[in-house]
């Protein structure tokens, strides 16, 4: 076979021409160009977007979806993150936690190198230097990375999701201090996805700040800046340095236009549990004159204490949104539709596509799918008009189909979203999909009880393969798939960082998903109305309301919630504002087993658990 790899002299010329001067980055590229056997190397940044779009359109990798909008399908067995195949590897066995799927790096390194060797032959390797922070942030030293990828669509996603360009790596104080990411797609049709012979590996070598992902071109498996660096690596770095927390959190501002005051709220809900929707929230009509919600971030926040005033400040390290399409419409999330409007450069993945009209559609976009089926293809690329009878009711779009758009396109983007300092945090909220037990909101004022609440966060299994149907799947702080070091140490790090703040945020647990056990309807309308619960929390924080104390926190009195224009039955309202002590006592037994798995869990957390349990024992049924 002819050797098509670029010669070292060609590589030098390519990097010179791209203005990539950092010697450590150049060495990293040369090493992996050699291993993967890529035929061409191309350094790309934000300025290359329109050219890459043209090339991808010409190659049939993406399709036009109206003016300045694009569409792509991923391979049918490659439509979500794979948690089983995701590993944290380090040299130190003490880094093994319950959820981080830890393996020794000495064992993982050869497995990855073996799979990547020659696997990009005939392809271009795109070099994407990036920054996961607003420029100038004190956390920039942890935010610099370079992703190498052999997939052009991944480069298009990265340009939307992270700040990309050689300028982010050329002037480093320590030229070698950047996260080294290598993404090799592999032969997607022959990787045995989901079988015992699965060939995929998504490994973060956390103590080496190196990320090697093989065998996917989708989402968090392939855009290494986002999940692997922004969460898994950053969470490890934040702990190792003792400087910050990196969490799967949304981040918003709520402004009272009457007083000019803005509160900042961040918080974690497990994947596909409503972070993007909350961050893009348009106030309900009756509150729109008075309040405004501004978007800072929808999936990742890094939190640190600012020495200037001792408060917790948060940044969104991302530059874009990778949002769930399902159920996004004018009623639920008009802001999301604005973010993907003509001219935004949005890239849709795995929604339904009409090749005649270049329209896109997903379940919940409109109550019924388009009546005229001509030209429509489902997410697998099959014509809807040619579907066999048996497949007639299959969804047109994949349930995890998404849109990728830059922050600047989000209509409610905060004016100061790129502030290097970040914004001071007034409240930290946790929320999952729970069909019973969890009230609309319960506020927690004690630090250890707040951290305890985050550690016992869970969501009900959303599809049969994961967990028992209807049973809570614990997802501490919504970080279960991204936690890179042991849970006991994670809890201690939280207590230390938040505990060292001069002014602590209030905590709260929210739940938009309680259902009627008889007919399954959601008891709370959700979406835009969720602002009402947050406004109550801010009033509680400011001492304007008292709420009703319960063993698990303070819940609103019905009279304290602004419910003007809300369509809710009085029985449903009573249910979401009350605590079923008996049901909670059952939960406490499960929590005890959950927490007992975590070695070295701080005594403060156990004490918080015992306090809540004792209060529940003493509570009337």
Q: Which is nearer to ligand GTP, 85 or 275 (CB)?
A: 275
Q: Which is nearer to ligand GTP, 329 or 358 (CB)?
A: 329
Q: Which is nearer to ligand GTP, 159 or 324 (CB)?
A: 324
Q: Which is nearer to ligand SPV, 211 or 538 (CB)?
A: 211
Shortest CB 333 distance to ligand GTP, Å: 7
Shortest CB 79 distance to Mn ion, Å: 15
Task: Report the distance separating Cα 457 and Cα 591, nearest Å.
Answer: 10
Contact 502, 311 (CB under 8 A): yes
For residue 220, the partner it binds in Mn ion, ligand GTP, ligand SPV, none, with Cβ less than 5 to 8 A by kind, is ligand SPV
- Roughly how many angstroms between the first and final C-alpha of the chain, as a whole number? 76
Task: Report the distance separating Cα 48 and Cα 45, nearest Å.
Answer: 6
* Burial class of residue 105 (count of CB atoms within 10 Å of its CB; 0-12, 13-18, 19+): buried
For residue 226, the partner it binds in ligand SPV, Mn ion, ligand GTP, none, with Cβ less than 5 to 8 A by kind, is ligand SPV
Shortest CB 509 distance to ligand SPV, Å: 19
By CB under 6 A, tell whether 193 contacts ligand GTP. Answer: no
Query: Which residues, including other chains, have CB under 8 Å from residue 191's CB and lie 6 or more apart?
Result: 77, 198, 199, 200, 215
| 349 backbone dihedrals φ, ψ, rounded to 5° | -130, 125
Q: Which residues pair with 145 in a beta bridge?
A: 130, 179
Q: Which is nearer to ligand SPV, 100 or 124 (CB)?
A: 100
Contact 584, 590 (CB under 8 A): no
Shortest CB 568 distance to ligand GTP, Å: 13
Shortest CB 371 distance to Mn ion, Å: 34
Shortest CB 164 distance to ligand GTP, Å: 21
By CB under 6 A, tell whether 81 contacts ligand SPV. Answer: yes
Among positions 198, 243, 327, 516, the unique one binding ligand GTP when judged by CB under 6 A: 327
For residue 81, the partner it binds in Mn ion, ligand SPV, ligand GTP, none, with Cβ less than 5 to 8 A by kind, is ligand SPV
Among positions 32, 178, 322, 485, the unique one binding ligand SPV when judged by CB under 6 A: 322
By CB under 6 A, tell whether 433 contacts ligand SPV. Answer: no
Q: Of 361, 365, 390, 400, which Cα lies nearest the Cα of 378?
A: 361
Which string of b and e fits 286-317 if b means at least 16 CB within 10 Å? Answer: ebeeebbbbbbbbbbbbbbbeeeeebbbbbbb
Q: Which is nearer to Mn ion, 276 or 530 (CB)?
A: 276
Shortest CB 219 distance to ligand SPV, Å: 3
Q: Which is nearer to ligand GTP, 271 or 350 (CB)?
A: 271
Q: Identify residues 259-298 at the interface with ligand SPV (CB under 6 A).
A: 271
Kindly give the residue spans of alpha helices, DSSP state H, lying in 101-245: 105-116, 152-161, 167-170, 219-222, 234-241
Q: Identify residues 497-526 at the interface with ligand GTP (CB under 6 A).
A: 512-513, 522, 526
Shortest CB 178 distance to ligand GTP, Å: 26
Q: Identify residues 242-271 at the interface with ligand GTP (CB under 6 A).
A: 269, 271
What are the residues binding Mn ion (CB under 5 A)? 271, 299
| 608 backbone dihedrals φ, ψ, rounded to 5° | -65, -45
Among positions 215, 219, 458, 476, the unique one binding ligand SPV when judged by CB under 6 A: 219
Going across the sheet that includes 63-64, the strands are 63-64, 69-72, 346-349, 402-406, 320-324
CA-derived radius of gyration, the chain: 24
Shortest CB 379 distance to ligand SPV, Å: 15
Q: Of 49, 28, 369, which Cα lies nearest the Cα of 177?
A: 28
Helices 23-36 & 8-17, crossing angle to 10 degrees?
130
Shortest CB 539 distance to ligand GTP, Å: 21
How many CA atoms, within 13 angstroms, populate the side-chain half-sphere of residue 542?
Answer: 10
Among positions 226, 480, 493, 504, the unique one binding ligand SPV when judged by CB under 6 A: 226
Q: Identify residues 266-325 at the interface with ligand GTP (CB under 6 A).
A: 269, 271-277, 298-299, 323-324
Shortest CB 5 distance to Mn ion, Å: 37
Among positions 227, 347, 360, 595, the unique one binding ligand SPV when judged by CB under 6 A: 227
For residue 137, the partner it binds in ligand GTP, ligand SPV, Mn ion, none, with Cβ less than 5 to 8 A by kind, is none
| DSSP secondary structure of 474-533 | E-GGG-TTT--S-HHHHHHHHHHHHHT-SBPPEEEEE-S--B-TTT--BSS--GGGHHHH
Q: Of 178, 181, 180, which Cα lies nearest the Cα of 133?
A: 178
Contact 356, 374 (CB under 8 A): yes
Q: Which is nearer to ligand GTP, 209 or 229 (CB)?
A: 229
By CB under 6 A, tell whether 530 contacts ligand GTP. Answer: yes
**Binding residues for ligand SPV, per CB under 6 A?**
81, 219-220, 226-227, 271, 299, 322
**Binding residues for ligand GTP, per CB under 6 A?**
269, 271-277, 298-299, 323-324, 326-327, 332, 512-513, 522, 526-527, 530
């Amino acid at each position: 076979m002819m050797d098509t790899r670029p010669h070292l002299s060609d590589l030098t010329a390519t990097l010179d021409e791209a203005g990539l001067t950092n010697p450590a980055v150049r060495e990293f590229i040369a090493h992996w160009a050699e291993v993967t056997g890529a035929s061409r190397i191309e350094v790309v940044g934000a300025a290359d977007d329109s050219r890459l779009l043209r090339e991808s359109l010409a190659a049939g990798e993406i399709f036009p979806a109206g003016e300045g909008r694009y569409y792509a399908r991923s391979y049918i067995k490659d439509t979500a993150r794979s948690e089983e195949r995701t590993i944290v590897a380090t040299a130190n066995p003490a880094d093994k936690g319950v959820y981080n799927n830890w393996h020794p790096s000495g064992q993982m390194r050869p497995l990855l190198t073996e799979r990547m060797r020659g696997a990009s032959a005939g392809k271009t390797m795109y070099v994407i230097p990036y920054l996961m922070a607003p420029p100038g942030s004190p956390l920039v030293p942890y935010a610099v990375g370079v992703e190498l990828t052999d997939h052009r669509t991944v480069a298009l996603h990265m340009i939307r999701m992270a700040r990309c360009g050689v300028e982010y790596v050329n002037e480093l104080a320590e030229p070698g201090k950047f996260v080294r990411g290598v993404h090799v797609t592999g032969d997607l049709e022959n990787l045995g996805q989901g079988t015992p012979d699965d060939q995929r590996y998504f490994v973060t070598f956390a103590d080496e700040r190196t990320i090697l992902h093989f065998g996917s071109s989708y989402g968090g498996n392939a855009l290494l800046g986002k999940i692997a660096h922004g969460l898994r690596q950053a969470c490890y770095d934040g702990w190792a340095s003792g400087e910050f927390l990196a969490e799967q959190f949304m981040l918003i501002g709520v402004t009272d236009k009457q007083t000019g005051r803005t509160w900042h709220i961040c918080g974690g809900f497990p994947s596909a549990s409503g972070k993007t929707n909350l961050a893009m929230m348009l106030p309900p009509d009756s509150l729109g004159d008075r309040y405004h919600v501004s978007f800072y971030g929808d999936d990742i926040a890094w939190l640190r204490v600012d020495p200037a005033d001792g408060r917790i400040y948060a940044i969104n390290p991302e530059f874009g949104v990778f949002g769930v399409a399902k159920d996004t419409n004018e009623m639920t999330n008009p802001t999301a539709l604005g973010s993907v409007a003509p001219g935004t450069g949005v890239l849709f993945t795995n929604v339904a596509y009409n090749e005649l009209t270049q329209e896109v559609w997903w379940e919940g976009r409109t109550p019924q799918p388009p009546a005229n089926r001509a030209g429509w293809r489902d997410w697998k690329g099959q014509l809807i008009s040619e579907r066999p009878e048996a497949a007639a009711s299959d969804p047109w779009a994949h349930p995890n189909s998404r849109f990728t758009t830059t922050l600047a396109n989000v209509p409610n983007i905060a004016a100061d979203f790129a502030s290097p300092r970040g914004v001071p945090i007034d409240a930290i909220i946790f929320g999952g999909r729970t069909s019973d037990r969890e009230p609309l909101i319960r506020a927690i004022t004690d630090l250890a009880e707040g951290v305890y609440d985050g550690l016992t966060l869970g969501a009900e299994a959303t599809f049969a393969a994961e967990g028992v149907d209807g049973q809570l799947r614990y997802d501490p702080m919504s970080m279960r798939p991204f936690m890179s070091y042991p849970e006991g140490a994670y809890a201690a790090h939280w207590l230390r960082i938040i505990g060292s703040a001069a002014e602590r945020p209030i905590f709260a647990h929210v739940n938009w998903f309680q259902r009627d056990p008889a007919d399954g309807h959601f008891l709370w309308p959700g979406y835009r109305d969720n602002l009402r619960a947050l406004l109550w929390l801010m009033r509680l924080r400011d001492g304007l309301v008292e709420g009703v104390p319960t063993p698990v926190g303070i819940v609103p009195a019905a009279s304290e919630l602004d419910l003007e224009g809300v369509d809710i039955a009085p029985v449903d309202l009573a249910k979401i504002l009350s605590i079923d002590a008996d049901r909670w006592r059952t939960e406490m037994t499960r929590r005890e087993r959950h927490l007992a798995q975590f070695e070295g869990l701080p005594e403060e957390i156990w004490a918080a658990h015992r306090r809540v349990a004792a209060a529940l024992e003493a509570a009337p049924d």
